[in-house]
Structure 1
Amino acid sequence: MAGKYSRTDRFDPILMSAPAFDVVVVGMGPVGTLSANLLGTCGIKTLIIDKESEIYSLPRAIAFDHDAMRILQSCGLTGAIETFIAPYAPSEYHGVGGKVISRFDMQDPPYPLGWAPNYVFRQPPFEAALRAGLRRFDCVEERTPCELLEFEQKDSCVEILIKNGQKSELTTASYLLGADGGASTVRKISGTGMTSLDFDEPWLVVDVLCSEAVLRRLPSTIIQYCNPSRPATYVIGTENHRRWEIRLLEGEDPRTFEDESAVWALLTPWLKPDDGKLWRWATYEFHAVIANTWRDRSALLLGDAAHMTPPFMAQGMTQGFRDAANLVWKLERVLGGQATDSLLDTYMEERVPHVRATTEIAKDLGRVICECDLMAAQDRDARMLNEFGDPPIVRLRQSLIPHLINGLTLQGTSGAGTVLPQPFVQEGSGVVRFDDLVGPGPVLVLRSSLNASELTSSTIELCEEFLLKRVYLRDDDSVVPENIIGVVEKNGLLEKWFSDHNCVAALVRPDHYVYGTATTASQIEKLCVAWSSSRACSSNV
C-alpha cells in the first residue's frame, strides 16, 4: 500500500517483537479523537497523533444527529459536551418569491434513540472535550505536534515513521487508522484515489456572533433560500451563533470575498456590520467524493479521509462518527481474538453503500437549493408543492437516513440493518437510557410476549460461548430467569419496534445495528447459530 522509506534501523529489535501499539490513529479532528475515545473505552492500546498542537479555534462543522450522540454516549462523553450543543431548529425551504415549498423537523418525544434527533454545536469547545476525554485512559497516548511521514505494511504489523517535533521515530502498530481529513496523508501515501459523485458547487460560509437585538428579528427557523438569483442557507447555531452559506454565482471570483466589506454586502438582506461580529468566513467547493479503497490490509480510512458529503443534510461529521463506531467494535473483536481479520472487510462492505446513499440524498437536497435558472426553479417549486402539499407537510429529517443493506446482517429477517431504538428504562427507583443499563457488546433482546424460559439449552449455550448478553423486556412484576437482564421500559419504544417488525427477539451488534430477528423460540436458536458462524465470531475460519 505505502511506499518504502529509507532507514538503516528499520529492523531494530523492537520491530521483531509485538507491535508497540494495537492501533495508531492519524488525525485529532472530531472523527479521529472520537475513534481514540472508543478505542480507549475498549482498553485497546492506542497512539493518536496530529501535526497541530492546538485545536482549530474557528467553527467548521455545525450539526450532528442522534446516531452521533448515541456513539458519544457509548464512550461516556455526552456530559462533557452538553454545554456546547443545542437541539436543531425546524427547517423551511423557500422557493421563488419566498413561498415555503418544503419543511423538515424532528419528531416529538419519545425520541427513537434516546436523544433529540438533531443538534447544533460549537466545534472548538466540543473538540476540546473530546480531547480531554482521552486522558481518562491509560491505554491511550496522544502526541502533538507529530506528523506521519511514511508507513509500510509487514506481515505482522505496520511500520510507521513519524516526526515528533524535530525528531523522527519509527513505531509499529497492528492497525493504522487514517482520520486525517480531506487532504489525508494516509490516503496519499497509500495511493488511493477519490471518485467524484458529481457534485461540485462554490459557496461562501459565514459565521456571525450576533447581537441580542438582531437575534430577536432574525428567523426562528433554519431556512434554505432556494432563490435562483442567489441561493443561500441560514442556520441557527448555539447561543448567538448564526451561519450563512451563500452560493457563489458563475463568474464570481472567490478571492473577492477575502475582503470583509464584500462579505457584509452579501449579508445585507439580514444584517448590518454593527449587528454582530464576523467570527469566520471562507469560500469552499462543496464536494461529493468517496475514496476508492478504505481498507488495504492493516491500513484503514475513515471520516473525510474516506468521503466528503455536501452539507445539505448536516451529515458530514456524523458520517465519520458512524465510520468510527462501525470500525472500532470490529477491531476490538479482532484484537481480542473473538473474530478473524476478515471481519474488517465488512467495514467497507457496510459503510460504502451507506455513505453513498446518504450522500446522494444530500446531493438531491443540494440540487433543490442550488438551482439558478428561474424557469427551472419555478418548475421545481410546482413539483415539490404537488408532491408535499401546499402548504407542505412536515417531513422528519431522520426518515431520510438509510439502513445497512450489506455486510454483517441477516438479510431476510425483519428489521435487519436498522438501528435498535433506545428507550428510557427503570433502574432501581430511577430512569436511565437502555444502553447505559445494558452496557457494551452484542445483545440478544427478547420481547415481553416471549416467555424467557422458552429459550432452548442450545441458545443459552451459544449466548454464553459467544458472550451474547440476554435482555428481557419485562413487566414490573414478571420473573426474570438467571443470567438475563430484566428491563422495564418507560416509553414503549422497543415494544412498538418489535410489533412493527413482527418479531420476538433481535440480535443487536455492538454498534446498535440489528444483525437479525426471530419470530419464535426455535428461530432464536437459528439466529444465534447464524451469528456464531458469521465473520463476527472466530468460529467462522
Structure 2
Amino acid sequence: MGCDSQQSDMQVDVIISGCGPVGALTGNLLGLMGVRTLLLERDVAPHGEPRAFSCDDEGLRIYQATGLLELLQKDMKETRFAEYVGGSGKRFAEVHTGQTDFGFGHTPLWFFHQPLLEGALRDGFQRFPHVELRQGMAFESVEQDARGVTVRYREVATGAVHSVRGRYLLACDGARSAVRKALGIEMSGKAYGEQWLAVSGTIDGPAPDLCRFVCDPKRPAFIATGARNQLRWEFMMMPGETREHLEKPETIAGLIAPYVDPKRVRIERAQVYTFHCLNAARWRERNVFLLGDAAHTMPPFMGQGLVSGMRDAANLAWKLKRVLHGQASDSLLDSYEQERRPHVADVQKLCVNVGHLFMARNPVVATLRDVFMRTVQRIPRVRRFIQGFEFKQPPLHAQGYYFGGPKVDPKAAEGSYFIQPKVRLESGEEVLLDQTLGNDFTVLCRWDAPAAELAAARELAESLGGRLVTFRPAQQTPKAEAPAVVDVTGKLTEWFSRHAADVVVLRPDRFVFGAVKAQRLPELRSALGV
C-alpha cells in the first residue's frame, strides 16, 4: 500500500495516527477483520523507552484476539503476589494475583517491556497486505466531509506534505494528541500536584521477585520486577527537591539501593512526570475517534492506563468493521463512547482512591491506615476482598449496543464480559474458549437443545457472519451428529443455569449482547437487525 505525493486521492478504510501500543493493537485487530488500514507514526524508529509496564487479564484476552498472545507472553512476566508496606517496612495488605481468577482465562497482573511489545505488535502487520505502517510521518490536519476524512501529514525528514483519504481517522497519538488539538476538543479533570520519578533499568544476574507498594509518608514508592530482568521504580518527589536533582545518576543510585545493588543495574530511563486524571469532552467528532490517552488519562496506581486504551480498541474495531462492510449503520459507532466512557470514569475513580491510600503524607494518618488495614483484614470476607483483588473494577457496560436497552438489573447478563474457561475439542485438545469462537459474533447454546432451536441458532449465527458453538458437560456421551466443545470445568453450564439462558449471543469483543430463553430468539434476532 503506497502513499506518496502522487497518490493523494488513495482510499483506505481507516487511518490511525500514532503507532504506540494502542495504535499497533488497533491496527492488528482491524487487519484481522479485513479492514484496509494505514498507520502514521511520527517517530522514524521504534522508541527504546519502557514507558507502559503492566497488563491485566482483560488485556491478555485482547492480545489473544490478535493471534499474537503466545509470542507476546514470551517477553512478559506473570506477577503472582503484590504487597503494600508502611514506613516501617511491615506489610499491611497483600494481593494474591496468582490465585485470582476473574474467569477470563488469565491471571490479572503481568509486566512487560514496552519496546519488545511494540516490536511484536508491529511485526504482526506483516500478516496483512491491507495494513501499512508509515514511520517518520507527523499528522498535520484533518478535513471531514460526508464520505470520510482527508488527512494531511508531513515527512519528518524532508518536510514534504502528503494527503490521504480514508473513511475514518483514529487518534491513538497519546495524551498530547495532535488530532484532538486539531479538532479543538478540550480535556477536563485534575492534574495532581505531586511529581514522580520513574526509573527503569535492567539488572545483571538474578533479579529480586518484587511487586511492592511502599506507602512510606517520607517517600511513597513502587518497585516491581518485570520481564527480561527489568526493574521499575516510581519515587515521589518530596518538597524542596528538583527534577534536576532527582534525575542525577547519584540520586537514582541512592533511591534504588535499598532494593538492589545499583552497580548491578543499567538505567534505561529516568524521568520526572506529573500524573493526570483527564477526559476529553467528546471521543467522537463525526468521522474521527479518540482512543487511549488521547481520550482519557489516569493515575498509575492500578496499572490501568494502557489497558483502558486496549479496551477502547477492542470495543471500536469490530464496530468499524461492521459499518465499513455494510453490516451495520453508522449509528453503531455512537455506542463506543456510550459504553466506554462510564467504565473509564469508574476506573479513574478507583485509581484515585488507591492513590490516596498509597500517598498518605501525614505520618499519623499513615500509621492509622496501617493499623486499620491490618485490623479490618481479621474479618475473613474483607481479607478475601483485598487478597482476591476484588476491588478491581469489573468490565461491565450499563448501556450501549445490547439486547433490552439500559441495564436495570446489575446482575443481568447483557453488557457483561463473558467468561473464558477451558474447553475440550473433539480432538481431545484443551484450549481456552475464545480459540473456538472466531473474530465475529458467536451464538452459544447447549449441544442437546431441540433440533428446531439449534437450527434457529445456527441460522442466526450465519446471518451475523459468525459461528454457532455448542457445548456439552464432560460427563455426557458425545453424539456424532452433534459435535460440541466439552465444558471440562463446568463453568459454561453454571453460567447458562445462573442466567436461565438457552441461547447466548456474544459480540466480537466477547461482551454479552443477549442471553435469552429459546422462545425469545425472534426478539433477539430483531434487536440485532438480521
Given the two structures, how large is their TM-score scaled by the length of structure 2?
0.90
CA separation in 2, counterparts of 1:127 and 1:372?
A: 37
Amino acid at match of 2:477: D
1:193-252 Cα offsets, whole Å, 9 max, x none, are 111146453111112322336x3xx4x441111111111111121132111111111232
CA separation in 2, counterparts of 1:480 and 1:93?
A: 54
CA separation in 1, counterparts of 2:95 and 2:451?
A: 45
Q: Quick one: structure 1 residues 398 and 446, their matched pair in 2 at CA, closer, same or farther if it must change by over 3 Å?
A: farther
Amino acid at match of 1:318: V
* Structure-to-structure mapping, 1:33-112, within 5 angstroms: 33-106=24-97, 108=99, 112=103
CA separation in 1, counterparts of 2:424 and 2:523?
A: 31
Q: Is the 8 A contact 2:142 2:151 kept in 1?
A: yes
Amino acid at match of 2:187: M
CA separation in 2, counterparts of 1:90 and 1:203?
A: 24
* Structure-to-structure mapping, 1:109-120, within 5 angstroms: 112-120=103-111
1:369 to 358, 380, 384: 358
Residue in 1 aligned with 2:335?
346
Q: Is the 8 A contact 1:235 1:243 kept in 2?
A: yes
Residue in 1 aligned with 2:393?
401
Q: Is the 8 A contact 1:446 1:506 kept in 2?
A: yes
* Structure-to-structure mapping, 1:58-207, within 5 angstroms: 58-106=49-97, 108=99, 112-164=103-155, 165-166=157-158, 167-197=160-190, 199-207=192-200
Asked whether 1:521 is paired with 2:518, we answer yes
CA separation in 1, counterparts of 2:191 and 2:52?
A: 22
Amino acid at match of 2:524: L
2:274 to 270, 285, 293: 285
1:53-77 Cα offsets, whole Å, 9 max, x none, are 2111121111101211111121211
Asked whether 1:329 is paired with 2:318, we answer yes
Q: Is the 8 A contact 2:438 2:467 kept in 1?
A: no
Match of 1:22, SS state, is strand
Asked whether 1:318 is paired with 2:307, we answer yes
User: How far apart are 1:168 and its partner, in Å?
Assistant: 1.1
Count of residue pairs brought into register by the alignment: 512
1:300 to 286, 289, 299: 289
User: How far apart are 1:300 and its partner, in Å?
Assistant: 0.5
CA separation in 1, counterparts of 2:205 and 2:464?
A: 57
Match of 2:487, SS state, is coil
Q: Which aligned segments of 4 or more residues in structure 1 are displaced greater than 6 angstroms?
A: none
Q: Is the 8 A contact 1:458 1:525 kept in 2?
A: no
Q: Is the 8 A contact 1:176 1:300 kept in 2?
A: yes
Asked whether 1:233 is paired with 2:222, we answer yes
Match of 2:387, SS state, is strand
Residue in 2 aligned with 1:472?
470
Q: Is the 8 A contact 1:36 1:140 kept in 2?
A: yes
CA separation in 2, counterparts of 1:259 and 1:477?
A: 68
CA separation in 2, counterparts of 1:284 and 1:452?
A: 61
Match of 2:227, SS state, is coil
2:201 to 201, 208, 218: 208
CA separation in 2, counterparts of 1:58 and 1:379?
A: 38
Structure 1 gap ranges (5+): 1-9
2:423 to 406, 422, 425: 425
Q: Which has the higher contact order (CA 8 A, sep 6+)?
A: 1
Asked whether 1:512 is paired with 2:502, we answer no
CA separation in 2, counterparts of 1:384 and 1:76?
A: 42
Q: Is the 8 A contact 1:206 1:280 kept in 2?
A: yes
CA separation in 1, counterparts of 2:253 and 2:101?
A: 42
Q: Is the 8 A contact 2:87 2:218 kept in 1?
A: no
Q: Is the 8 A contact 2:197 2:237 kept in 1?
A: yes
Amino acid at match of 2:444: V
Structure 2 gap ranges (5+): none
Match of 1:378, SS state, is helix
1:247 to 229, 232, 236: 236
CA separation in 2, counterparts of 1:225 and 1:13?
A: 55
Amino acid at match of 1:53: V
Residue in 2 aligned with 1:22?
13
User: How far apart are 1:412 and its partner, in Å?
Assistant: 4.5
Residue in 2 aligned with 1:531?
528
Q: Is the 8 A contact 2:316 2:333 kept in 1?
A: yes
Q: Quick one: structure 1 residues 185 and 398, their matched pair in 2 at CA, closer, same or farther if it must change by over 3 Å?
A: farther
CA separation in 2, counterparts of 1:197 and 1:506?
A: 41
1:133-160 Cα offsets, whole Å, 9 max, x none, are 1111110111111111111111112011
Residue in 2 aligned with 1:7?
none
Q: Quick one: structure 1 residues 530 and 386, their matched pair in 2 at CA, closer, same or farther if it must change by over 3 Å?
A: farther
Higher mean C-alpha deviation, range 489-498 or range 68-77: 489-498
1:268-316 Cα offsets, whole Å, 9 max, x none, are 3223432322222111112111111110110001011111121111111
1:275 to 258, 261, 264: 264
CA separation in 1, counterparts of 2:114 and 2:458?
A: 46
Aligned-pair identity (%): 32
Residue in 1 aligned with 2:499?
501
CA separation in 2, counterparts of 1:122 and 1:269?
A: 23
Q: What is the root-mean-square deviation of aligned Cα atoms in Å?
A: 2.5
CA separation in 1, counterparts of 2:308 and 2:418?
A: 18
Residue in 2 aligned with 1:266?
255
CA separation in 1, counterparts of 2:169 and 2:239?
A: 42
Residue in 1 aligned with 2:369?
380
Residue in 1 aligned with 2:442?
443
Q: Is the 8 A contact 1:101 1:390 kept in 2?
A: no
Amino acid at match of 2:397: L
User: How far apart are 1:398 and its partner, in Å?
Assistant: 6.3
Higher mean C-alpha deviation, range 403-412 or range 493-502: 493-502
